[in-house]
Amino acid sequence: MKRKVVLLLLCSILVFISSGCKSQLEKKGSEASNQFRLSDNKEIARMFLQSLNNDNYIEPHFYISNGLKKQITEKVLHDVWKDITTKAGKLDTIFNIYSVNHEVGELIFQDCRFDTTYLSFQLTFNKKNEVIGMYFKPLSADVINSLKK
């Protein structure tokens, strides 16, 4: 499982470019087989994490960049999420969602409390609102201590 997490992180780093966001649902026509796609990156990130937490790996996989879909399969998403929850416990709360614009795009962070620790879940988006990076990083001790007060 560690290899899959490392592979996922390395793939994400190699294609680190992101995008701006829009504010509503948009129809992607034939590109998305006439399905509706969320177009706001914060909404996508929220759905992505909630879907993982509900053992739904199909919907998050839909938002992964076509260039990464072969490497980051639904099974890889499943294995990464199971590895995270095995180590950190059950997702308890998402208490902060924010975005950071970067010269190459947009990063969405969701700060989360799990049973045994606090993690920040980061998604990186390209200009098509596709996920091109996914990271779980520990929150800093300062942030954790401020939450416990």
pLDDT tens sequence for the chain (149 residues): 555 433 443 333 333 322 233 323 333 333 443 344 556 999 999 999 999 999 999 999 999 999 999 999 999 999 999 999 999 999 999 999 999 987 667 999 999 999 999 999 999 998 888 999 999 999 988 888 887 77
Fill in the DSSP letter of residue 140: P
Q: Mind listing the domains of the chain with CATH numbers?
A: 2-148 (3.10.450.590)
**What CA–CA distances, in Å, run from 12 to 42, 125, 134?**
18, 10, 6
pLDDT at 33: 36
pLDDT at 147: 78
Give the count of beta carbons closer than 10 Å to the beta carbon of residue 12.
Answer: 20
pLDDT at 144: 82
pLDDT at 81: 98
**What CA–CA distances, in Å, run from 24 to 36, 38, 52, 130, 140?**
11, 7, 22, 15, 33
First-to-last CA distance in the chain?
A: 35
pLDDT at 148: 76
Residue 107's SS3 state is strand
